[in-house]
Amino acid sequence: MPWPAALLTLAIMKKRVAAALILLVALLCLYRGADLLVQNGNTTAKTTKHPTSSSPIPDGVTDSPHLPTKASNRPPTSGIHATHSPERLKEFFLPEVTIDGLPLKAALTKLLAAYQDVCRESGEVPLHLTFIVPPEATRPLTAKTGIRNLDSSIHLLAAIAGLKVSRSGSEYTFTAPEETGEIVKRGLQVPPDFFSRESSAEAGPFAEPAVIPEGMSFSDYLATLGTKEAHIATGAPNQLAPADYFASKGITLDPSTSFSLSGSTLQFTTTSAADQIAIEGLIDATLSNPPLQHKMETRLINIPAGMDWTPPDLSQLDDTGAAQMMRQLSQLKGVDLMSTPAITARVGEDAKVEIIHEILVPSPTAPGGFETQPSGLIVDFRAAPYGFGHHVDLNYSERIAEGESGTATAKVTERTAIADSSFSSDGNAQMHIQTHPDGTRSVVLVTPTLIDATGRPLHPKE
């Protein structure tokens, strides 16, 4: 090969080798960069972290560390909007939450988790709530919130902590009052029975009566109770001194704080700004969470065997859907429709509807004797406010009498037994269906409505 051609070929080969070396180095750098990125993944995550419903409050505002909740490990939900506004938190009810020796931030975390749980069960998308808490709010809190709305629960915790609280949008800010040592005298209006009642809104939903342990005398049993519980156990008026009442709610007041109660006016004197905030806050939180009742309406439907009827593909029906279904069924031959009288019940109170008559049947324990048993329809309820609706325990029984009353052939058999514990939207009908061995079907529609003490719906229809 001529020298010029050889030199040209050599130059081309050198360029190709150089290009290959450059490409190899670039690939090596990319590989090392990815390795470093993995090693420093935590640092990178801190600079790209997306907020969640419990996202940390910006640094430098107050001591507001991340509140870890069940939502903390969920993917960002920036594209999902809450199904209710912050203003409606005064209507969103939670079950009782027990705060046992937790500082305020941890107590709020527990409250937030309960809110998210209720949202999940009731089909709501929760708000992205944040809390700004002062760094000195580390005192352990002990309280039971009772059944109350979320906004009232937050204000209750603030009162127990001796802090002011305000809301702006979905952000709650807690602030400590300035302690000046000055004597403060205040007069507050409270219901005449404020210190003598356990509001149904604050009581647990399914509280059981106290049982004296076997072998313990009644006086010894009373000694194990607090002042309020002892009043209840002895049947005495549940009247507490104001200081004892606040102590029963988890608020420890300064010894210098004093009270006088005249009718519906509570006067208190204190040099503690925290006590003033706690007293006023607890009263406000209680009065802003008035007792509620449940109005329960029940409709019963018996559908004969072989009827070509398909129930709506919904567990709950609004007024329009329920009325339309009842209208359609009323036009079918052989369908029995019946509405029971509406009843009202306080929170956690057992309620019963009975359409029965009693018959005499042979006694299983007294040979030759008889006892009475009910036959007919029995509906048992127990309900508590839950989210924007109700948590309802339902037991429905249809008992059929056979034979002649007072004879050896008389007996009562249970044809239908429906038991359910579920969430019901306020004012919507919850549908329960049981199919019997003979092909007939029993349908129970239960419509619960939250009403106030005057009987007005809490959520009036527009």
User: What is the DSSP track for 197-259?
Assistant: ---TTTS-TTPPPP-PPTT--HHHHHHTS-HHHHHHHHT------HHHHHHHTT----TT-EE
3-state secondary structure (DSSP) of residue 149: strand
Q: CA 79: distance to chain centroid?
A: 25
Give the per-residue pLDDT at 195: 82
pLDDT in tens, the chain (462 residues): 454 444 445 455 555 656 665 656 555 554 444 343 333 333 333 333 333 333 333 332 345 443 433 333 334 444 578 999 999 999 999 999 999 999 999 999 999 999 999 999 999 999 999 999 999 999 999 999 989 999 999 999 999 999 999 999 999 999 999 999 999 999 999 887 788 645 433 444 333 334 445 555 544 544 555 544 444 444 444 568 888 889 888 898 999 899 998 888 999 999 999 999 999 999 998 888 878 899 999 999 999 999 988 888 777 899 889 999 999 999 999 999 998 889 998 887 888 989 899 999 999 888 889 999 999 999 999 999 999 999 999 999 999 999 999 999 999 999 999 999 989 999 999 999 999 999 999 999 999 999 988 888 988 876
Rounded CA-CA distance 197/285 in Å is 15
Structure tokens at 452: 């106030």
Q: CA 257: distance to chain centroid?
A: 35
> How far are the Cα atoms of 317, 358, 417, 450 from residue 458, in angstroms, in the given order?
19, 38, 31, 6
Number of Cβ atoms within 10 Å of the Cβ of 3: 7
3-state secondary structure (DSSP) of residue 390: strand
Give the per-residue pLDDT at 220: 56
Give the residues across from 267 on adjacent strands: 187, 260
Q: Is the entire prediction scored with pTM above 0.75?
A: no
End-to-end CA distance of the chain: 99
Helix and strand numbers, DSSP H then E, in the chain? 9, 20
Do the beta carbons of residue 208 and residue 226 sit within 8 Å?
no
Give the per-residue pLDDT at 66: 39
3-state secondary structure (DSSP) of residue 160: helix
List, as one string, the DSSP characters of 31-51: HHHHHHHHHTHHHHHHHHPPP
Domain locations along the chain: 70-175, 185-272, 293-451
Look up the CATH number of domain 70-175: 3.55.50.30
Give the per-residue pLDDT at 22: 62
Residue-wise pLDDT for 381-433, tens only, equals 999 999 999 999 999 999 999 999 999 999 999 999 999 998 999 999 999 99
3-state secondary structure (DSSP) of residue 266: strand
Count Cβ neighbours within 10 Å for each residue of 238-264 and write b for 16 or more, e otherwise. bebebbebbbbbbbebeeebebebeee
Q: Which residues contact 395 (CB under 8 A, 6 or more apart)?
A: 378, 379, 380, 417, 418, 419
